[in-house]
Amino acid sequence: MSCRAGCGACCIAPSITSPIPGMTQGKPAGVRCVQLDDGNLCRLFGDPRRPEVCRRFDYDPELCLDSREQALTVLAEWEHATR
C-alpha cells in the first residue's frame, strides 16, 4: 500500500520540531503545515528543503488504518503519548 492521496494526516496531527519553509520553528501538533496544499498534498514532496523527518515518514497500515480520520486520531494519540 501507499499513502492515500489527499490524506495529509501526517502533516497535521504530529508536532514537527525541524524547521519547515514558512514555519521556521517547526509546527505544533494539530496545526496544519503551511506546505500542505488545498488537496492535502505536500508542496515540498521531492524538494531538498523538505525536512528529513518528513522524508522518512512513510505509509504504515498500523498508523494509517482505513481512512484519513482514523489516521488523524491515531497520530494525535501517539503524539499525546510521546509528550
Residue 1 has pLDDT above 70, yes or no: no
Predicted TM-score (pTM) of the model is 0.86
Q: What is the DSSP letter of 63?
A: H
pLDDT of 15-56, one tens digit each? Answer: 999 999 999 999 999 999 999 999 999 999 999 999 999 999
Write phi, then psi, for 69 (nearest 5 degrees). Answer: -60, -40
Q: What is the DSSP letter of 26?
A: -
pLDDT at position 57, please? 87
pLDDT at position 74, please? 94
What is the C-alpha to C-alpha distance for residues 28 and 70, in angstroms, rounded to an integer? 20
* Spatial contact of 20 and 27, defined as CB atoms under 8 Å apart: yes
Domain boundaries, the chain: 9-81
